[in-house]
Chains A and B, each alone.
Chain A
């Protein structure tokens, strides 16, 4: 199998077996908007089962990293593989929760409609949505506690409810590798708990979640791996080794107040 892969991709530079079978393996990824580098020379291998927090200051290239990994924006250089193959050929294994602000919530669709969209990849081109699909989608809405809002137009949901609809849609994709772009931003406590539970479930099912996360305080509680980014990668690996005050100060250019790091200091000593 590996020999076949090597034959098919002779220029493959990801050398270890681990990287080749990893949910996500990135080698030397660079992305630039015009002349400005947004992500520079990023190499990263995601763990086979786990929750990865992507942290870094504003403009550190966190969302860009996710979009480039999904193949949504062109990259300057670098290689990206998902379970050893190109992103395009592994789309069925990838789930995505975009930023909530990236869509028009006035769109004429119900919560159930949006969750059903998570099944479109499986349904395929030109095939219509059937009753069975909607029933499946309903199950995912129930899983995030939103069954009562299935018929509600999405614009009439609260921010937290909208985020849960997005989460249910990602679950409907039934992927192995998930990308989430700031799912915790602007949500209520109930939604935060719902998202945390979903993340735990996904991890227990052996899946990998790569999640842009803003809140440094909660990151060590919710995630077990971290990728610290400030255009260039600062550090990545298990939370305990990576999420140190030193790495974070480095990523944030020394702008973090001691109080923001207070919860993290004990971790650094481990």
Chain B
């Protein structure tokens, strides 16, 4: 297969980078969401951004990304407040509160979209679901040196810039507040009694989740956002009982899913002789689930196979006893 370097740099590299960065900035906070049994909040955030984007577009009247992203972020924060409020006032569990909020916000988004005629523009359901990973182009890259040259960097796609910024912020905050996140996730009462307000940390986590969801949503779509909030963390949990190692592993699985998924989607069919490419975001999400499935069976301590073998071994030991 002949692959000119410039094609790879302009088409495949930016898509790979976006996929990996989106995976990282959703995957890292995902660890804490999964451990807090709040994985659904990633799902909620990726749906509630729709009305925010529509309202952002209507208010600004332009297709500029900034107003839409601000709208999305506001919608995410408003819904975080709503979820918390409904949980308290309605006295219902978190999952139900999230369900109420994200379905109604998404429905509101669809209503406004249909009513105002914004639907014809750039906002369509397909885009919301799958993103536009394949259309992320980094023009101006002809060889590897362009990657570090000012003119090359200048043409870095906007979605990639945003994701890079959010990703660095997420990594920085996760490292800085690791201890606080750990204790408030494990034992919120103890955290509060030590002066680490569990509520404050939990609000911070939701804000970061919203920010990551919004930054990633535009590029990779809601399905991949949801998958990346849950799969890398849940997969990593199968391989270790140490939280910091789990974070590293989740970053590893997010990266691996992004790269493998994109390459399979882009080149898999070609290698098989078919003349088409698969949807990359969809394939990455599938690959992330495959990793999860493999881990559930083969992980040494938490995998099914390991447990069965250990039980067999114990049974044998017992039978060999006089």
Chain A interface residues (CB < 8 Å from chain B): 67, 70-72, 88, 91, 94, 96, 98, 102-104, 107-110, 113-114, 117, 120-121, 123, 125-129, 153, 169, 173
Contacts and interface: CB of A to CB of B under 8 A. Distances in A.
B190 A104 contact: no
Given A108-B237, A120-B196, A103 B187 contact: yes
A113 B240 CA distance: 14
Interface in B123-176: 176
Given A103-B187, A107-B186, A117-B183, A72 B192 contact: yes
B290 interface: no
A91 B237 CA distance: 33
Given A91-B194, A121-B194, A126-B176, A108 B189 contact: no
Main secondary structure of the interface of B (DSSP, over half): helix
Contact of A120 (B35, B194, B240, B243): B194
B195 interface: yes
Contacts of B35: 104, 107-108
Given A96-B189, A127-B179, A169-B190, 17 more contacts: A72-B189, A72-B193, A96-B190, A98-B187, A98-B189, A98-B190, A108-B237, A108-B241, A109-B241, A109-B242, A114-B186, A117-B186, A117-B190, A120-B191, A121-B195, A126-B180, A173-B194
A91 B190 CA distance: 11
A245 B131 CA distance: 72
Residue of B35, B180, B195, B237 with highest tally of chain A CB at under 10 A: B195
Nearest to B187: A103
Contacts of A127: 179
A128 B176 CA distance: 8
A72 B241 CA distance: 29
Nearest to A92: B195
Contacts of B189: 67, 70, 72, 96, 98, 102
Residue of B35, B193, B195, B246 with highest tally of chain A CB at under 10 A: B193
B178 interface: yes
Nearest to B194: A121
Contacts of A109: 182, 186, 241-243
Q: Which 7 A-B pairs have the closest CB atoms?
A: A153-B241, A121-B194, A96-B193, A108-B243, A91-B195, A107-B186, A103-B187
Given A94-B193, A108-B246, A120 B183 contact: yes
B242 A108 contact: yes
Residue of A71, A108, A114 with highest tally of chain B CB at under 10 A: A108
Contacts of B242: 108-110, 113
Given A107-B35, A117-B187, A125 B196 contact: yes
Residue of B177, B186, B243 with highest tally of chain A CB at under 10 A: B186
Contact of A103 (B179, B180, B186, B237): B186
30 contacts: A71-B193, A72-B192, A91-B194, A91-B195, A94-B193, A96-B190, A98-B187, A98-B190, A102-B189, A103-B186, A104-B186, A107-B35, A107-B185, A108-B240, A108-B241, A109-B182, A109-B241, A109-B242, A109-B243, A110-B242, A114-B186, A117-B182, A117-B187, A120-B180, A120-B194, A120-B196, A127-B179, A129-B179, A153-B241, A173-B194
A9 to B, nearest CB: 21
Residue of B179, B185, B186, B190 with highest tally of chain A CB at under 10 A: B190
A67 B196 CA distance: 16
A103 B183 CA distance: 11
Interface in B25-62: 35
Contacts of A110: 241-242
A113 B186 CA distance: 11
Nearest to A181: B189
Nearest to A126: B176
Contacts of B246: 108
A110 B182 CA distance: 12
Interface string B191-218: 1111110000000000000000000000
Nearest to A155: B241
A260 to B, nearest CB: 31
A120 B186 CA distance: 13
B126 to A, nearest CB: 38
A98 B194 CA distance: 13
Residue of B179, B183, B185 with highest tally of chain A CB at under 10 A: B179
Interface string B236-253: 010011110010000000
